[in-house]
Structure 1
């Protein structure tokens, strides 16, 4: 495993996901208050962010599988951060959605090339390499709400302009690995014709369904926790989010490393099954018990994050970048759709109903995971 490359991709992933999937959902409350939005309008922010990322990732993945464009790694990371930074200047919903969409498109361009690069740098440690890469993203998701709590909550939305220099850092970090990545992609292109095994479309459809269920659960918790704990301050509720996603980052690393030993399918099924009781209990917990439950819930439900990327690459050995677009992008976009749908439910029935729905999703994912193919040839 090329550690320098893997950790470079992971660090860039941290900065990208810090804003796109870390700060955007956590900013919904502030956007709602500043622009006087209802729940459905507020969750449109998440929908646009995730849909642009979701739609663009498979498109970029399919395109770059045919003709690699490694420079999208740096450009995408730059745009994802810059787009969110510019939302600090908006005064209406339309302009907000435009800049959020720009950020999502940048994230959509970044992920396929970064995931392909991690795949090429992994050697025989695919589970470990993808877990390091995904931990970067999950850590960004975890620190996003914390930044909202400690900084943006005090400065207001204009504080997002401090992300402008971060955008240049993200672009530079991705740019310095491009020469190495270009060489590896050329080598891999020559070997691709010799790869044995066909794409497993049935397995891909089933795995995408499981990823969507997990994404609905993850995004639902992150978006609706501040509304659910309405009696707590914004800072406190975002710390709860940090606990959930931070535990998920740890789970992602351990799950990915463990999957190299026990198998990706088994890890996926067990992680979703273990998450089920914590999901079911959460609506009935309060205070310290809620924090403890969120810790175990986040750890277990997100420990399969890197694993599903590796599984998708195994099922699409001829389309590695597309595999990333489906396992990361499509699932995240589906999370945005789920958040908007649950926003409508909240307007009609209350936020508590959302958490009742979320509590059964890990069990459904675990059951479907049993039917995944056992033996998939490695790319």
Structure 2
């Protein structure tokens, strides 16, 4: 089944690359620096988003056990809510991007998560479940959009763009787990959660990404 998926997506990526080229998404000679800056902003956003998600999915249950004195079973319930909210958000994000624009949704998804992320380490237990759900849901709205946006920034290398973004989101899992675990060991789990809570604020970088109506490749 995985091989079938590879073959289908390979053909789709070729078709999509041709479509982007037909729409005139070709870079002009003097725009390399600007385009590179927008790509860096995009990668930083993916980096911040995936690290916050890793912090919650790998360590928040231990924070719940330590800080709220809940059982392992109860702590895993909160993690399940965060993950299922992410699945729902990923599914809904595509249609919302079609309606409101990819850049707008990316801005809302990253910065919109920030209030919930910043408050999460300090909430009473009764508020944690709905806030965890909202944080997971809003954060995941833009996951598939990041991939599509990267493809538009690199229309001549659609497959590479997809692999780069997905690789940053998932392939760095081992690295971020080690780094976050080291922070938790050096300081405390609460310190780790507080540090992670600031990561969605990197969503402000979305402001400098090109709007949908004028791709970075049109400059």
Name the TM tier (shorter chain): 0.7 to 0.9
- Partner residue, 1:220: 55
Using the TM superposition, give the Cα deviation of residue 174 of structure 1 relative to its aligned residue in structure 2, in angstroms: 2.9
Structure 1 runs, 4 residues or longer, greater than 6 Å off: none
Alignment of 1:109-120 (within 5 A): none
CA displacement 1:318-366 (0-9 Å, x = unmatched): 11111112211123344543332221111121100011011111112x2
Give the whole-Å Cα distance in 1 for the aligned partners of 2:143 and 2:49: 9
What is the TM-score of this pair, normalised by structure 2? 0.82
Q: Structure 1 residue 298 and structure 2 residue 126: aligned?
A: no
CA RMSD of aligned residues (A): 2.7
Are the structure 2 counterparts of residues 191 and 360 from structure 1 closer, same or farther at C-alpha, using a change threshold of 3 Å? closer
Specify the SS of the correspondent of 1:370.
helix
Alignment of 1:308-327 (within 5 A): 308-327=146-165
Are the structure 2 counterparts of residues 180 and 285 from structure 1 closer, same or farther at C-alpha, using a change threshold of 3 Å? closer
- Note if contact 1:229-1:237 (Cα within 8 Å) is conserved in structure 2: yes
- Note if contact 1:214-1:301 (Cα within 8 Å) is conserved in structure 2: yes
Using the TM superposition, give the Cα deviation of residue 266 of structure 1 relative to its aligned residue in structure 2, in angstroms: 0.8
Give the whole-Å Cα distance in 2 for the aligned partners of 1:317 and 1:186: 10
Q: What is the aligned length?
A: 204
- Partner residue, 1:208: 43
Give the whole-Å Cα distance in 2 for the aligned partners of 1:210 and 1:291: 26
Specify the SS of the correspondent of 1:232.
coil
Q: Structure 1 residue 279 and structure 2 residue 117: aligned?
A: yes
CA displacement 1:298-337 (0-9 Å, x = unmatched): 1111111011111001001011111112211123344543
- Partner residue, 1:358: 196
Give the whole-Å Cα distance in 2 for the aligned partners of 1:360 and 1:178: 36
Alignment of 1:114-193 (within 5 A): 173-176=1-4, 184=11, 188=15, 191=18
Alignment of 1:212-291 (within 5 A): 212-230=47-65, 231-291=69-129
Q: Structure 1 residue 369 and structure 2 residue 177: aligned?
A: no
Specify the SS of the correspondent of 1:318.
helix
Are the structure 2 counterparts of residues 321 and 297 from structure 1 closer, same or farther at C-alpha, using a change threshold of 3 Å? same
Alignment of 1:5-154 (within 5 A): none
- Note if contact 2:17-2:157 (Cα within 8 Å) is conserved in structure 1: no
What is the TM-score of this pair, normalised by structure 1? 0.49
Structure 2: state its 5+ residue gaps.
none
CA displacement 1:259-304 (0-9 Å, x = unmatched): 1121111111112121111001111124331111101111111111
Give the whole-Å Cα distance in 2 for the aligned partners of 1:377 and 1:368: 14
